[in-house]
Amino acid sequence: MKGPRETDFAYQAVYRYLTCVIGESAGQAHVRLPSLRHLAERLNVSISTIQYAYSLLEKEGRVYSVAKSGYYALPAPPISTLYDGNDLLESLYVNARRPGMLVLSSDEPALLQPIDSPLLLQERELLRQYPRQPQPNSQPCGELELRMALAARYTTSPVRCWHADDVYIGADLRGVLEILIAVLCLKDATVVIESPCDWVILRLFQAAGVRVIEWPLRADGGLHHERLRQLLETESVRLVMLSSGLNLPSGSQPPNDDRQAVAQLLDRHDCWVLENDCYGELGFEASAPRFRDLLAPQRLMIFSTFEKIIGPEAPFGYLLSRHLSGEWQRHFLMRAFRLSSIRQKAIARLYSNGRIDQHLQLLRRRLRDSKEQMSQLLSERMGETLQFIEPQGGATVWLRSLRRVDMRRVFQNLLKHQVVIAPGELFSLQGLYGQHLRLSHSFGSDQDLASALGLLGDALRQASID
């Protein structure tokens, strides 16, 4: 199948093609889509591939089938029916999934440089080696080969070493963090979280009844270690969660002096330390020492996900911990995650043969180029309206309005023009960052971005409250 992204799984390319076809027919009622056979011939793929792509769209409510007639596109609701409830996050999710929306709110760095083709080739090779192998029932914490690969990757010295028994793999990051909350008995406990923070993590802790205290970064992206000292001395803190190096959405990396001061402070207090390593591999420059290189391992845990570097084909989350092994194993066994053994083995082989490192070099280069284009456009078009610190990694830019605005009104005004942004208040549970927003710099063409920034400038002016 020909196209600009030849590294994709075939069904993904077909899915995107059909999404475009459906988008072109937006506003028309019940448009008949190409037949399986006709589309297979046109795109030079198998009928089963076409069928799978259609089934995905059917599950999403984008198409429906009629016996002996074929598939039809469901008409998109008019813009006037956009979700207008009070939950800002729900509104973002609903509108980001509508056809024809320009989604500037996303954080999907791996989509800029797919690694699907090597992953698929590795899976095919493994399927030849392990034909029809039943799913193992004896590895509730994940495939041993992948746990060994992760343990080796995180080992940096004989003292700071990890073993496969210290690694736990779950179906996704949310499931792993839910287990962590249960094992550490965090319900009603006090947790200090570096802020701003991913809304998925914040909402998860909130829903679990955890008392969250946000620990905001300084305006320059540094760590306010004096504020952390005050919290540790005045609050009964069960756990402190901080980024391994790169904080997102801010895109900042704290100075080494800040990290050293925070590490020394944490060593003097009896609380768990949880390192968020989801973006640890996405810094543009060689990373300074991570917190796991500075902290004693006695009360240290690390969590991350493959999704940010591999993409949605690898949604698994994982946790590293040297402690409470019996409790971790019991909870992972009770959760009974159903994980593809072959997919996990394939990911492990990509680590061991160096393909992940090659992929990361290309991904970081693409992200840096995309960031520079975005930064230039922002400086040229929005320099008098928005302020931002040059991101040091990742796929997003964190911006602050230079004049007071109603950012929810900005969000709603942009939805009318089919543009989705991520207002800053989503990254806090305590009402912080009301004048901030997060934009993706890795989503599409420069032309689309320039047009969207023009609309953003208009929306900011209309929502001014000065």
What does the H/E/C string look like for 20-79? Answer: HHHHHCCCCCCEECCCHHHHHHHHCCCHHHHHHHHHHHHHCCCEEEECCCEEEECCCCCH
Same fold, 10-73 and 118-353: no
Give the predicted TM-score (pTM) of the model. Answer: 0.83
Say whether pLDDT at 309 is over 90: yes
Question: What CATH number does the domain located at 79-106+358-462 have?
Answer: 3.90.1150.10
Instruction: Write the pLDDT tens digit of every residue in 423-434.
Output: 999 999 999 999
**For the chain, which residues make up each domain, given as ranges?**
10-73, 79-106+358-462, 118-353
Reading phi first (left if > 0) and then psi (alpha if -120 to 50, else beta), residue 258 is in: alpha
Instruction: Write the pLDDT tens digit of every residue in 412-422.
Output: 999 999 899 99
Instruction: Assess if CATH 3.40.50.720 describes domain 118-353.
Output: no
β-bridge pairing 190-195 and 211-216 = parallel
How far is 308 from 129, CA to CA, in rounded Å? 29
Average pLDDT over residues 203-207: 96
Instruction: Write the pLDDT tens digit of every residue in 356-388.
Output: 999 999 999 999 999 999 999 999 999 899 999
Q: Which helix (DSSP H) or strand (DSSP E) does residue 70 occupy?
A: strand 70-73
pLDDT band at 445 (very low <50, low <70, confident <90, very high): low
How far is 21 from 288, CA to CA, in rounded Å? 46
pLDDT band at 166 (very low <50, low <70, confident <90, very high): very high
pLDDT band at 138 (very low <50, low <70, confident <90, very high): low
pLDDT value of residue 323: 92
pLDDT value of residue 198: 95
Instruction: Write the pLDDT tens digit of every residue in 398-415.
Output: 999 999 999 999 999 999
- Rounded mean pLDDT of the chain? 87
Tell me the CA distances in angstroms from 376 to 366, 384, 446, one per residue in order.
16, 13, 11
Cβ 398 vs Cβ 380: under 8 Å: no
pLDDT value of residue 8: 44
How far is 163 from 151, CA to CA, in rounded Å? 5
Instruction: Write the pLDDT tens digit of every residue in 239-274.
Output: 999 999 889 999 999 899 999 999 999 999 989 999
pLDDT band at 296 (very low <50, low <70, confident <90, very high): confident
Collapsed DSSP state (helix, strand, coil) of residue 205: helix
Looking at this protein, which amino acid is placed at residue 88?
L
Say whether pLDDT at 32 is over 70: yes
pLDDT value of residue 15: 78
How far is 288 from 121, CA to CA, in rounded Å? 34
Average pLDDT over residues 313-318: 92
Instruction: Write the pLDDT tens digit of every residue in 446-459.
Output: 667 888 899 999 99
Q: Report phi then psi at 167, rounded to 5.
A: -110, 135
Cβ 361 vs Cβ 194: under 8 Å: no
State percent of the chain over pLDDT 70: 90
pLDDT value of residue 68: 74
β-bridge pairing 237-243 and 272-276 = parallel
Q: How much is the CA Rg of the chain, to the nearest whole Å?
A: 23
Average pLDDT over residues 65-76: 78
User: Nearest CA to 8 among 103, 130, 104, 110?
Assistant: 110
Looking at this protein, which amino acid is placed at residue 374?
M
Q: Report phi then psi at 420, rounded to 5.
A: -115, 125
Cβ 442 vs Cβ 109: under 8 Å: yes
pLDDT value of residue 1: 43
Contacts of 268 (CB under 8 A, 6+ apart): none
How far is 98 from 82, CA to CA, in rounded Å? 9
- The class level of CATH for 10-73 reads mainly alpha
